[in-house]
Chain A
Amino acid sequence: MSVLVYTESEQGKLKKTAFEVASYAKAVAEQLGTTVTAITINADDTSPLSNYGVDKVLTVTSSELSTFNAKGFAEVLHQAAEKEESKVVVLSSSANSKYLAPLLAVYLNAGYASNVIAAPSSTSPFTVKRSAFTNKAFEEISINTDVKIIGVSNNAFGLIENSGAASEETFSPSITDLGIKVESVDKASDKVSIADAEIVVSGGRGLKGPENWGMIEELAEVLGAATACSKPVSDLGWRPHAEHVGQTGKPVASNLYIAIGISGAIQHLAGINASKVKVVINTDPEAPFFKAADYGVVGDAFQVVPELIEKLKSFKAQQ
């Protein structure tokens, strides 16, 4: 009956979102009066999970699953959920978890709620709040099936420490046809991704051209942030599509979002609205972004950003 949570790892190391979904699973388990079982696939050290309310860890080690495969990973979670007789399965909102979730829903005949932002408001009927309309609204939905799958929005629930002792158990599911083979992975290992970033620095058309992105990258580097851009910038080919954030691009749910030279079209604001603190730097005080931001600087990015970089460097040096 325990709540099953898929705690993701990358190159053997548990991701930060693993602790967030574990925290969420613990909150659900407390409401249901049950325990939390985490499942890891090819993770080296699972002991930190015990700090976030996990009672038992199922560890899967498989060379077939050394690269992500949605069908294979969903099959592992399916078998784990049946073994644990779990009625609730908790996932993150990473690209991989969102990829496997609908397959798992079919295998478990489970209702699936994605982008969930809070612990259940009721467990009977099982009701959760999720974001919809690209963060322009919240939707409360009830899940009617016996087994329920919850996809927790990144950075929405937070980390809740809950120290205990977790037992570890090796789990060997049977994996058959994977259907898809990974040929190559192209990923900058030294850069933080928009999905995982706590701070995102984003540039718009106000920067006038791709040659001016040096200061955006430098500001991001000083802050340990990911870089992003508005839709016109990616459409103009100044920056790769992968950096486009907004309604048709990537969603952002960082702690801090800094928009530079972005006016704040409704589609852009929707995509970044889940960020906790928003800063805008723009020459035009009438730009719609000022209505959505927490802090604003009316000024020329070409003067403000280099000065901000210098001041942040000395601030960081003092920390």
Chain B
Amino acid sequence: MKILVCISHVPDTTSKINFTDGDTKFDTNGVQFVINPNDEFGLTRAMWFKEKQSAHVTVVNVGGPETEPTLRKALAIGADAAIRVNTPATDGFSVAKQLAQVVTDGNYDLVIAGRESIDYNGGMVPGMIAGLTNANFVNNCINLEIEGTSVTAVREIDGGKETVSTTLPLVIGGQKGIVEESDLRIPNMRGIMMARQKPLTVTEPVAANAETNSVKFEKPAPKGAVKLVSPDNLDELINLLHNEAKVI
């Protein structure tokens, strides 16, 4: 089984979010970049398929050279090879078109991507890859088992979960649950050394127009001060929620 894991290069979850150039660009100054958490859960599941079912795992990112340390980290975790498509990740649709080309060229059986990146939260790349390559697609996947080409997956739905059966080729929108938080791997020294020897191929992009353009960013208005209510006067809290906030 050939697995492709799509890796988004995103600001660490604790990052302060700021913008530059007249609020048109994300300010990367002082920001630590990591593997998108939803992708890391999927990558860890791919490692399980590698170890238990001899799968070959390639990681891919669409972006400039600055994203290579993130791909090297994925190699240090245990992926066999990496591909970087050498173009800035501008919008979800054009990124999906680049990735679909990589999927077609490499003839992958299973593509795992995070259900969304934690920066732009577009939530569209996995589904678009599936649509473009005519593969089956399971989003919000929290459990994945594969035997031959038969797949059983569990997907989170609003208020519960659903078990589905399907076949390869398949695209997964992964998230926490596909593996547990405690299953995530921190690269060890051996892994980091080995990652330096693994192939990281840079490919040039296919032509793809940006279907959407980011125009401007803004931050939420600063919050007013909290109204404190004494624990001895909870009637006042109920009164405020009922008469002032009008939410109960």
Give A85-110 interface residues, CB cut-off 8 Å to B: 94-96, 98-103, 105-107, 110
Contact bitstring A240-273, B, C-beta under 8 A = 1, else 0: 0110100111000001100000000011000001
Binds A, one of B76-84, B197-205, B238-246: B238-246
Minimum CB–CB distance from B191 to chain A (whole Å) comes to 23
Please give, as numbers and ranges, the residues of chain A lying within 8 Å of B181 by CB-CB distance: 235
Contacts A98-B139, A291-B226 hold; do A187 and B231 have CB atoms under 8 A apart? no
B218 & A138 in contact (Cβ 8 Å cutoff):
yes
CA separation between A303 and B231, bound complex, in Å?
8
Q: Is B206 an interface residue (CB 8 A)?
A: no
Give A260-319 interface residues, CB cut-off 8 Å to B: 266-267, 273, 276-277, 279-280, 290-300, 303-304, 307-308, 311-312, 315
Instruction: Pick the residue among A127, A241, A312 that contacts B142 (CB under 8 A).
Output: A241
Q: Is A112 an interface residue (CB 8 A)?
A: yes
CA separation between A180 and B141, bound complex, in Å?
13
Contacts A142-B212, A279-B237 hold; do A103 and B131 have CB atoms under 8 A apart? yes
> Please, which residue of chain A has its CB at the minimum distance from the CB of B245?
A277
CA separation between A136 and B175, bound complex, in Å?
20
Please give, as numbers and ranges, the residues of chain B lying within 8 Å of A105 by CB-CB distance: 93, 124, 127-128, 131
Minimum CB–CB distance from A58 to chain B (whole Å) comes to 22
Contact bitstring B175-211, A, C-beta under 8 A = 1, else 0: 1110001100000000000000000000000000111
B237 & A295 in contact (Cβ 8 Å cutoff):
yes
Please give, as numbers and ranges, the residues of chain A lying within 8 Å of B227 by CB-CB distance: 294-296
A235 & B182 in contact (Cβ 8 Å cutoff):
yes
Minimum CB–CB distance from A36 to chain B (whole Å) comes to 23
A179 & B166 in contact (Cβ 8 Å cutoff):
yes
B163 & A184 in contact (Cβ 8 Å cutoff):
yes
Contacts A102-B128, A183-B163, A294-B227 hold; do A248 and B217 have CB atoms under 8 A apart? no
Instruction: Pick the residue among A106, A114, A137 that contacts B19 (CB under 8 A).
Output: A137
Q: Is B145 an interface residue (CB 8 A)?
A: no
Which among A107, A280, A293, A295 has the highest number of chain B CB atoms within 10 Å?
Answer: A295
B212 & A111 in contact (Cβ 8 Å cutoff):
yes
CA separation between A193 and B130, bound complex, in Å?
28
Which among B164, B167, B173 has the highest number of chain A CB atoms within 10 Å?
Answer: B164
CA separation between A266 and B176, bound complex, in Å?
18
Please give, as numbers and ranges, the residues of chain A lying within 8 Å of B148 by CB-CB distance: none
CA separation between A188 and B92, bound complex, in Å?
34
> Please, which residue of chain B has its CB at the minimum distance from the CB of A98?
B123
Q: Is B137 an interface residue (CB 8 A)?
A: yes
Minimum CB–CB distance from B211 to chain A (whole Å) comes to 4
A296 & B229 in contact (Cβ 8 Å cutoff):
yes
CA separation between A47 and B203, bound complex, in Å?
54
B161 & A255 in contact (Cβ 8 Å cutoff):
no
CA separation between A196 and B158, bound complex, in Å?
8
Contacts A99-B140, A241-B177, A255-B247 hold; do A187 and B17 have CB atoms under 8 A apart? no
Q: Is A32 an interface residue (CB 8 A)?
A: no
Please give, as numbers and ranges, the residues of chain A lying within 8 Å of B161 by CB-CB distance: 185-187, 242
Contacts A139-B217, A144-B211, A256-B248 hold; do A187 and B234 have CB atoms under 8 A apart? no
Please give, as numbers and ranges, the residues of chain A lying within 8 Å of B13 by CB-CB distance: 247-248, 266-267
B247 & A277 in contact (Cβ 8 Å cutoff):
yes
Q: Is B22 an interface residue (CB 8 A)?
A: no
CA separation between A18 and B131, bound complex, in Å?
25
Instruction: Pick the residue among A144, A247, A300, A312 that contacts B212 (CB under 8 A).
Output: A144
Q: Is A70 an interface residue (CB 8 A)?
A: yes
Q: Is B101 an interface residue (CB 8 A)?
A: no
B248 & A199 in contact (Cβ 8 Å cutoff):
yes
B17 & A95 in contact (Cβ 8 Å cutoff):
no
A141 & B158 in contact (Cβ 8 Å cutoff):
no
Please give, as numbers and ranges, the residues of chain B lying within 8 Å of A144 by CB-CB distance: 209-213
Contacts A99-B140, A255-B247, A295-B229 hold; do A138 and B220 have CB atoms under 8 A apart? yes
Contacts A70-B139, A95-B158, A103-B131 hold; do A297 and B122 have CB atoms under 8 A apart? no
Contacts A133-B121, A277-B247, A294-B226 hold; do A195 and B159 have CB atoms under 8 A apart? yes
Contacts A95-B158, A105-B93 hold; do A136 and B138 have CB atoms under 8 A apart? no
Q: Is B38 an interface residue (CB 8 A)?
A: yes
Please give, as numbers and ranges, the residues of chain A lying within 8 Å of B162 by CB-CB distance: 67-68, 182, 184-187
B165 & A181 in contact (Cβ 8 Å cutoff):
yes
Minimum CB–CB distance from A96 to chain B (whole Å) comes to 7
Minimum CB–CB distance from B1 to chain A (whole Å) comes to 19
Please give, as numbers and ranges, the residues of chain A lying within 8 Å of B229 by CB-CB distance: 295-297
A297 & B228 in contact (Cβ 8 Å cutoff):
yes
> Please, which residue of chain B has its CB at the minimum distance from the CB of A242?
B156
Please give, as numbers and ranges, the residues of chain B lying within 8 Å of A276 by CB-CB distance: 245, 247
Please give, as numbers and ranges, the residues of chain A lying within 8 Å of B238 by CB-CB distance: 308, 311-312, 315
Given A102-B126, A134-B118, A295-B240; 19 other pairs, CB 8 A cutoff: A67-B162, A94-B158, A95-B140, A99-B127, A99-B137, A102-B96, A102-B131, A139-B120, A193-B158, A195-B159, A256-B247, A294-B227, A295-B227, A295-B228, A296-B227, A298-B228, A299-B231, A304-B234, A311-B238
User: What are 9 residue pairs bridging A and B, where the CB atoms are less than 8 Å apart in the complex?
Assistant: A67-B162, A102-B131, A133-B11, A183-B163, A241-B142, A256-B241, A256-B247, A290-B226, A298-B228
